[in-house]
Structure formats: structure tokens, C-alpha cells
Amino acid sequence: MDQWLAALPKTELHVHIEGTLEPELMFTLARRNGVSLPWVDVEGVRAAYRFHNLQSFLDLYYAGASVLQTEADFFQLAMAYFRRAVADGVKHCEVFFDPQTHIDRGIDIGTVIRGLARAAEAIRAESGLSVYYILCFLRHLSAESAMQTLLDALPYRRHFVGVGLDSSEVGNPPERFETVFEQARLEGLQRVAHAGEEGPPEYIWQALDLLRVARIDHGVRAEEDPQLMHRLQQEQIPLTVCPLSNLKLKGVDDLRQHNLKRLLDAGLCVTVNSDDPAYFDGYVLANYRAVAAALGLSRENLYNIARNGFVASFLPEVEKARWL
Ligand code: ADE
Ligand code: ZN
């Protein structure tokens, strides 16, 4: 089963590039860039990775991202993630980046995007992995800041396929971002949003109806609303579920309680992803293995999850067909 799972062609549709920053690289970049960190060493950082909810993680994640300063840093970060993804059997990934986390520290958006874009090209040449980027707006910031970020990114439009919405969910409903998502749609960009991770089903409805998203990131709280479940099933709107993330951020106390199998059994298009693998102790294959063991998933279940990843991706139909 283990070897079969490793070899199974997979996608990764929910991973934040800043969330792939391993403590070792964090310290290397901190030294290189003269940035001081609130931890003395790698063990100190790892010891701090005990989260009790999303916000307790985000505070640390934004602190860690402060070491990223140059185009070479973003390139190195992305290459390290891509090589791990390839080793996990990932054939195509759609990767979030959070420009506001960097712009607000005085880093030029071009520095971020050029470094990431160069890495996508390099990994394609090295291994054949295909990479799409999705620009995420931080929902704890204003809608005006999101719009400015979109405008700042438009000169680099060819380097990303869509926009997303992440950061602190509760109290920051999707409806605040309707205008910027409409602008993105008019630019021909795909749309996704984190919803129903910690927030209520109502936020999932808003993401669908107001932001007109093609996928819901997380979405696990959809289960509380039968009408919403019906819609997700009927329209086959994919959920990018991140089991180890849900465990580490205390969405569930034990993976055996995770609703992934129930969502799958209800006929939803469920995918498995890693979210912030350097912080949550597991890249995509570890997430597959963890749910397979905890929920007793069959090969057929796992095959269907992997297949859903290709179906749910933004690849052109001819590219999807290579894997289906
Ligand atoms: N940014 C990085 N990881 C996130 C998550 N799981 N939820 C919301 N925002 C995030
Ligand atoms: Zn996420």
C-alpha cells in the first residue's frame, strides 16, 4: 500500500509557499539577510510549533516569512518545496503565495513573483512537474489593500492563474472581497477561497455566490449545512481538504474524527493537500498516509481522491486527460 500510494500520480492544490519554509532554511536565510528571529535555533522553532487554533499558527507563520527578502530567497524556498512534491508523486501543483506579507515589509512584488516564476520554470525542466500560482489576499487586511495588491500584480499576470483568500477567517467574511474578486474575474483569473476551515457554512455560501469561486479551500464545516452539502455535491465543487492542518490547528482532536471520509461518501469532490507542510509535520504524501490509516481508506478511495485532484485542477482539459 505504501509504495503504491507513493507512486500514485497526485496533485497538490492547497499549499502556501510561505508554509513550506522549513526551520533549517528559515535560519539560513535569517543569517544571510541579517534578520533576527524570536527563536535561538531550529529546535527552538520546532518546539514553538504547538498551535491551538488558526491564529496561533498565523502569528508564527508571518514571523517566519520575515526572512524572505530577495528573489534568490523565493527561488530557493520554492525549489525546496517542488523537490519534495516530486518525491511525493506530485505531477501538478497549484501554489498559493501571499504578496501582502512581503509588500508590507517593503519587498517589491516583482522580487517575489520573479523568484517564484523562475523556480516553476526550473523544476519543470528538471522533473516535468507543472506549477500554477495563485495569488492570495490576506482577509485580515482591507478590501482596498487587496485591490491595490491585484493592481500591483497585474504586470506579472502571466505568472499566476488565479486569486485566493486566506489568513484569519472568523470575523473576516468573503463578502468584504466581492469587488476585488469581480475585478480578478474580469481579468480572466480563476478564483478560490479559504472557507469553512474555522468559519461557518455561511462563509462557504458567500464564497460561492459572491466571490464566484471554482473551489473551496478546506470547506470541512460544510457538513453542518445539508443544503450546502447538496449544492457542493450537485455542482461537484471541489474541496481542498488538508487533514494534518486540521489536526494541528485543532479543528479535530484526532484524525479518526476527521470528516473526510464522510464528505467523500456523500459524493463530494474531495482532494487531499498539505496547506503549510513545514509547520504541520507532513507534505502531501504524509497527508494521504495519515488519512488512509486513521480512516481506513481503501485503494479505491485513495485513487478517487488523487483523481479528484486532477479533475479539480485548473489544467486545460487535454492536460488533465493525461492523468485521468
Ligand atoms: N495561511 C496559511 N495557511 C492558512 C490556513 N490554513 N488558513 C488560512 N490562512 C492560511
Ligand atoms: Zn490554507
Give the span between the Cα atoms of 88 and 101, in whole angstroms: 28
Sheet holding 90-97, edge to edge: 10-16, 90-97, 130-138, 162-166, 190-195, 215-218, 239-241, 270-272
Copy the grid coordinates of residue 136. Answer: 492570495
Express each pLDDT in 267-324 by its tens digit. 999 999 999 999 999 999 999 999 999 999 999 999 999 999 999 999 999 999 999 9
Copy the grid coordinates of residue 186. Answer: 474580469
Confidence of residue 6 (pLDDT cuts 50, 70, 90): very high
- Which residue in 12, 71, 197, 198 is the catalytic one? 197
CA of 40 from ligand 2 middle (Å) equals: 27
| Global model pTM greater than 0.90 | yes
CA of 275 from ligand 1 middle (Å) equals: 7
250: containing domain: 2-321
pLDDT of residue 62: 95
From atom 6 of ligand 1, which residue's Cα is the shortest distance away? Answer: 275
CA of 165 from ligand 2 middle (Å) equals: 9
Candidates 194, 216, 252, 280: which one to mutate for ligand 1, based on the most atoms within 8 Å of Cβ? 194
Give the span between the Cα atoms of 263 and 254, in whole angstroms: 17
CA of 95 from ligand 1 middle (Å) equals: 12
From atom 9 of ligand 1, which residue's Cα is the shortest distance away? Answer: 167
Give me the number of domains the chain comprises.
1
Candidates 58, 138, 242: which one to mutate for ligand 1, based on the most atoms within 8 Å of Cβ? 58
Give the span between the Cα atoms of 286 and 318, in whole angstroms: 29
Give the span between the Cα atoms of 40 and 203, in whole angstroms: 39
pLDDT of residue 39: 94
Question: Binding site residues for Zn(2+), as ranges?
Answer: 14, 16, 194, 275
The binding-site residues of ligand 1, defined as CB within 6 angstroms of any ligand atom, are: 16, 19, 54, 61, 166-167, 194, 197, 245, 275-276
Number of the ligand 1 atom closest to the C-alpha atom of 167: 9
Please answer whether residues 13 and 273 qualify as being in contact, where contact means their C-beta atoms are separated by less than 8 angstroms: yes
Ligand nearest to the Cα of 19, by number: 1
Express each pLDDT in 172-217 by its tens digit. 999 999 999 999 999 999 999 999 999 999 999 999 999 999 999 9
From atom 8 of ligand 1, which residue's Cα is the shortest distance away? Answer: 167
Confidence of residue 1 (pLDDT cuts 50, 70, 90): confident
CA of 217 from ligand 1 middle (Å) equals: 9
Give the span between the Cα atoms of 108 and 110, in whole angstroms: 5
Express each pLDDT in 95-129 by its tens digit. 999 999 999 999 999 999 999 999 999 999 999 99
CA-based nearest residue to 146, from 135, 132, 157: 135
Is 197 annotated in the active site?
A: yes
Which value does ipTM take for this structure? 0.98
Please answer whether residues 131 and 113 qualify as being in contact, where contact means their C-beta atoms are separated by less than 8 angstroms: no
